[in-house]
Amino acid sequence: MICVNGVTKRYSSTVVVDGVSCRIQEGGITSIIGPNGAGKSTLLSMISRLLPMDSGSVTVDGLDVVSTPGRDLAKKMAILRQDNQLTVRLTVRDLVGFGRYPHNGGRPGPGDRTHIETAMAYLDLTALADKFVDELSGGQRQRAFIAMVLAQDTDYLLLDEPLNNLDMKHSVEMMRLLRRLTDDFGKTVVLVIHDINFASCYSDDIIAMCDGRLVHQGPPAEIMRSEVLKDIYEIDIRIEEIEGNRIGVYFA
Amino acid sequence: MPETSTSALPAAVTEHRRHPVRAVPAKFWIITLGIAAAVLIAAFMTIELRGNLGYALPRRAVKVGSMILVAYAVGVSTVLFQTVTANRILTPSIMGFDALYVLIQTILVFTLGGGALLSLGAPVRFSIEVLLMVGFSFLLYRWLFTGGGKSLHLMLLVGIVFGTMFRGFSSLLQVLIEPSEFIILQDLFFASFNNVDAALLGYSAIAVAIVSAMAWRMRHSFDVLALGRETAVNLGVDHKRAVTTTLVICSVLVAVSTALVGPVTFFGLLVASLAYQLCANFRHAAVLPIAVLLGIIALVGGQLMLERIFDFDTALSIVIEFVGGIVFLVLLLRGKVK
C-alpha cells in the first residue's frame, strides 16, 4: 500500500500540491485525473522520490521514500515520466536491460535476459530490439521506456501520462497491458491520465485532483458522475453507460 | 514510419543497411588507438635521440608522462562530467573549472607571496591548491548539477559567467601584485610540456590514482547516470551523491591537468566528442579508454609534429584549441544542445 500523508509542494509562493493525503491499495489500477495544473504529476513525482516534498511523508509498503536507500526502493517501485530524452545512443535492448540494474548492479546475470526479452515481447518491441532509441517514433520510444520499467519487475508501477504520444490502438493496448499486469501478476499501477474514459474503463480507483488538492477518491462508478466531474473540470459532462462502462461525453 | 508489427519489415531493412557501420566494435578502436598511441610514444622517446642518453631520456620520459597524465585527466574528467550532467556539450573547462584553479593559484600568490608559496615545496603547494579547488568547486557548482530540471542553456550561461568572473578576478589580482611575483605566477600557469617538474608529475599521478579509485568504485553507475537524473533515480542510483563524487573527481583531475600544462578549454570537448563518434558502444568501459587514447595521440602526436616539423614555432595548446573550438561550434550548430 502507498500511504500519502499531508504532502505539500510549493514553488516560492505558489502551492502546487496542498496537503494531499490518500491511500493507494495494493493490486489494481489507480488513476490520477484532474485539469491541467492540478498537481497530478507533481504528486506522482513526490511519491516516486523524483521531487523532494516540502512537508508530509510517503511510504510504499511501509518504506519511507525519502529515507529508504534508492536501490531498495528501485526494486519495489518503478517510475516513468512523460518526456524521456536520451543523450546517449543506445539500442532498445540496452535500454530495457537497464531495468535490471537495481537487481544486478550493472553485472547482468543469466536471469536478466529472460526478463528483458519478456518485457520487450510484452510491448511488441522484439522486432525493434536492435534499433537505436533515437531512431524510433515517439510512440515506439514511449513503449521502449515502459518495457524498461517492466523489466525492473517491481510491485508498484508509477506512470506519468503513459498514453502521451500513443495512437488509439496503442493506447488501448497499453491499458490492456496494465490491466493484465495487475490481474495476472498482482502489480499495483498508478497512473496520471487525461482521458477520463480510459480511467473509467480500466481503473479500480480514481483520485481526482484540482488546484493542488485531492477533491475526490473512489471507484469509477462514484467518480464518473456529471456533478462530480463538473466539480473537477468545471464543464458539463454527460455520462452514458455503454456495455457496463461509464463513458463521459464532452465533445460537443 | 508506421509503428508496431507493421514496421518490422522497414525496421529489418534499415537494420541491414546500417549494419556495416555498427560492425566496428569498441574493442577494435581500443586496440587500434592503443597501438597508435604506443607507436607515437616510442617515436617521441627515440627520434633524434643522441648525445647523453642519461640526460635526454629521463627528460623525454617526464614529458611523455605528463602528456599521458594530462590526456587521462582531461579525457576522464570530461566524459564523466558529461555523463552526470547528461549532456554532450558542457565540459569542466567550459564551466570554468580551470579558470577557478588559476584564480586559486593567483590568490595564493597574492596573499602569501610568491616566494613563500614556492618555499612550501611542490607537494604542500599542490595539495593546498587541489584541496581549495575541490572545496570551491563543491560550493560553487554542486547546486547547479544536483537539482533536477535545470536547462542546459542556464548551465552554459552560468559556466560562461563563472569562467569570465574567475578570469577577470585573476587578471585584476595579477595587475596588483609585484612584477617579480607575477613572473612566478606566469611560470605556474603558462606551464607547457617542456618544463614540467618531475616531482609535480609524481604527486599528480598519486592524486589521479586516488580519484581513479573513486571512479572505479562507481563504474557500474556511470552508464545509468548517463540516462539522465530521473531514470537514474528510478533505477536506484543515489543521484545527488554520485554527482557530488563525480564533481570532486573532476575538480582534482582539472587541477592536475591545469597544474601540468595550464588551462585548455576545448581539448576535453574534442576528445570526448571524437570518442562518442568512434564508439558505437555507449558504455563507459568503452568510451573512457577511447577518449584517453585519443587524448594521448593528440598530445604526443601534436607535440612530435610541433618539435620536429614546426621547430617549436607555435604552442601545442593553440593548435588544439583551434581544432577544439571548431568542434564546439559544429556541435552547437548541429543542434546537439538539447
Chain-centroid distance, C-alpha B79: 8
The CATH number of the structural domain formed by A1-69+156-173+184-252 is: 3.40.50.300
> In angstroms, rounded to a whole number, what is the distance separating the alpha carbons of residues A207 and A199?
10
Minimal-distance CA residue of chain A relative to B223: A106
The one-character DSSP state at B194 is G
Neighbouring CB atoms inside 10 A of B309's CB total 8
Tell which phi-psi region holds residue B113, choosing left (phi > 0), alpha (psi between -120 and 50) or beta.
left
Q: Looking at the partner chain, which of B148, B234, B237 has a beta carbon nearest the beta carbon of A78? A: B234
The three three-digit cell numbers of residue B267, written as one number: 581539448
Long-range Cβ pairs for the range B190-193 (8 Å, 24+): B190/B262, B191/B259, B191/B260, B191/B261, B191/B262, B192/B261, B192/B262, B192/B315, B192/B316, B192/B317, B193/B63, B193/B66, B193/B67, B193/B260, B193/B261, B193/B299, B193/B303, B193/B316
Domain regions of chain A by residue span: 1-69+156-173+184-252, 77-153
Which positions in chain A touch B230 (Cβ < 8 Å)? Answer: 50, 79, 81, 84
- Note whether B278 contacts A: Cβ–Cβ < 8 A: no
Per-residue pLDDT of chain A (252 residues; tens, 9 = 90+): 999 999 999 988 899 999 999 999 999 999 999 999 899 999 999 999 999 999 999 999 999 999 999 999 999 999 998 777 788 888 999 999 999 999 998 888 888 999 999 999 988 899 999 999 988 888 888 889 999 999 999 999 999 999 887 889 889 988 998 999 899 889 999 999 999 999 999 999 999 999 999 999 999 999 999 999 999 999 999 999 998 899 999 887
Query: Which residues, including other chains, have CB under 8 Å from residue B110's CB and lie 6 or more apart?
Result: B173, B176, B177, B181
DSSP helix/strand/coil, B89: coil
Confidence label for B16 from pLDDT (cuts 50, 70 and 90): very low
CA dihedral B44, B45, B48, B54 (to 10 degrees): 150
- Note whether B217 contacts A: Cβ–Cβ < 8 A: no
Minimal-distance CA residue of chain B relative to A130: B15
Q: Evaluate if residue B82 carries a pLDDT over 50.
A: yes
Proportion of chain B above pLDDT 90, given as a percent: 25
With CA atoms as reference, report the closest residue to B200 among B97, B75, B208, B264: B208
The shortest C-alpha distance from A204 to chain B (Å) reads 25
The answer to whether A86 contacts B221, with C-beta atoms less than 8 Å apart, is no
Which positions in chain A touch B87 (Cβ < 8 Å)? Answer: 87
Residue B166, H or E segment: helix B152-176
> In angstroms, rounded to a whole number, what is the distance separating the alpha carbons of residues A18 and B162?
37
Confidence label for B198 from pLDDT (cuts 50, 70 and 90): confident
Looking at residue B335, what is its pLDDT?
Answer: 61
- Note whether A109 contacts B: Cβ–Cβ < 8 A: no
- Note whether B220 contacts A: Cβ–Cβ < 8 A: yes
- Note whether B94 contacts A: Cβ–Cβ < 8 A: no
Looking at residue B312, what is its pLDDT?
Answer: 65
Looking at residue B3, what is its pLDDT?
Answer: 38
Minimal-distance CA residue of chain A relative to B88: A87
Looking at residue A76, what is its pLDDT?
Answer: 95
The answer to whether B231 contacts A85, with C-beta atoms less than 8 Å apart, is no
The one-character DSSP state at B251 is H
Q: At what angle do helices B239-261 and B122-146 cross, to 10 degrees?
A: 140
Minimal-distance CA residue of chain A relative to B3: A140
Which positions in chain B touch A50 (Cβ < 8 Å)? Answer: 148, 230, 233-234
The CA-atom distances, in angstroms, between A100 and each of A52, A117, A135, B261 are: 25, 12, 23, 43
- Note whether B15 contacts A: Cβ–Cβ < 8 A: yes
Tell me: the pLDDT tens digits for B234-272? 999 998 889 889 989 999 999 888 888 888 778 898 899
- Note whether B246 contacts A: Cβ–Cβ < 8 A: no
Q: Looking at the partner chain, which of A49, A85, A148 has a beta carbon nearest the beta carbon of B233? A: A49
Q: At the fourth CATH level, which superfamily is domain B27-44+51-333?
A: ABC transporter involved in vitamin B12 uptake, BtuC (1.10.3470.10)
Q: Is the dihedral of CA B225, B231, B236, B240 positive or negative?
A: positive
Pick B52 or A143 by higher pLDDT. A143
Looking at residue B280, what is its pLDDT?
Answer: 75
> In angstroms, rounded to a whole number, what is the distance separating the alpha carbons of residues B6 and A198?
25
The answer to whether A167 contacts B3, with C-beta atoms less than 8 Å apart, is yes
- Note whether A87 contacts B: Cβ–Cβ < 8 A: yes
Q: Looking at the partner chain, which of B5, B14, B234 has a beta carbon nearest the beta carbon of A79? A: B234
- Note whether B86 contacts A: Cβ–Cβ < 8 A: yes
The CA-atom distances, in angstroms, between B132 and each of A202, B103, B129, B166, B303 are: 58, 11, 5, 14, 31
Separation of first and last alpha carbons in chain B: 23
Which positions in chain A touch B234 (Cβ < 8 Å)? Answer: 48, 50, 74, 78-80, 149, 152
The three three-digit cell numbers of residue B122, written as one number: 611542490
> In angstroms, rounded to a whole number, what is the distance separating the alpha carbons of residues B24 and B278?
9
What are phi and psi for residue A87, nearest 5 degrees? Answer: -95, -20
The shortest C-alpha distance from B17 to chain A (Å) reads 12
> In angstroms, rounded to a whole number, what is the distance separating the alpha carbons of residues A80 and A82?
7
Query: Which residues, including other chains, have CB under 8 Å from residue A197's CB and lie 6 or more apart?
Result: A245, A247, A248
Chain-centroid distance, C-alpha A135: 25
Query: Which residues, including other chains, have CB under 8 Å from residue B43's CB and lie 6 or more apart?
Result: B304
The interface pTM score, or ipTM, of the predicted complex is: 0.91
Q: Is residue B246 a contact partner of residue B81, using CB atoms and an 8 Å limit?
A: yes
Confidence label for B14 from pLDDT (cuts 50, 70 and 90): very low
What are phi and psi for residue B192, nearest 5 degrees? Answer: -135, 175
Q: Is residue B162 a contact partner of residue B95, using CB atoms and an 8 Å limit?
A: yes
Q: Do β-strands A28-33 and A205-210 pair in parallel, antiparallel, or remain unpaired?
A: parallel
With CA atoms as reference, report the closest residue to B223 among A100, A186, A84, A157: A100
Apex B189 CA angle, B187 and B191, nearest 5: 65
- Note whether B308 contacts A: Cβ–Cβ < 8 A: no
What are phi and psi for residue A227, nearest 5 degrees? Answer: -70, -35
Tell me: the pLDDT tens digits for B64-81? 999 999 999 999 999 999
DSSP secondary structure string, chain A? -EEEEEEEEEETTEEEEEEEEEEE-SSEEEEEE-STTSSHHHHHHHHTTSS--SEEEEEETTEETTTS-HHHHHTTEEEE-S----SS--BHHHHHHHTTHHHHTT---HHHHHHHHHHHHHTT-GGGTTSBGGGS-HHHHHHHHHHHHHHT--SEEEEESTTTT--HHHHHHHHHHHHHHHHHH--EEEEE-S-HHHHHHH-SEEEEEETTEEEEEE-HHHHSSHHHHHHHHSS--EEEEETTEEEEE---
CA count, 13 A, side-chain hemisphere, B289: 17
CA count, 13 A, side-chain hemisphere, A66: 12
The shortest C-alpha distance from A172 to chain B (Å) reads 13
Query: Which residues, including other chains, have CB under 8 Å from residue B219's CB and lie 6 or more apart?
Result: A106, B284, B285
Looking at residue A66, what is its pLDDT?
Answer: 93
The answer to whether B4 contacts A170, with C-beta atoms less than 8 Å apart, is yes
Looking at residue B175, what is its pLDDT?
Answer: 86
Domain regions of chain B by residue span: 27-44+51-333
Q: Looking at the partner chain, which of A48, A101, A149 has a beta carbon nearest the beta carbon of B224? A: A101
Looking at residue B314, what is its pLDDT?
Answer: 65
Q: Is residue A91 a contact partner of residue A131, using CB atoms and an 8 Å limit?
A: yes
- Note whether B171 contacts A: Cβ–Cβ < 8 A: no
What are phi and psi for residue B5, nearest 5 degrees? Answer: -60, -30
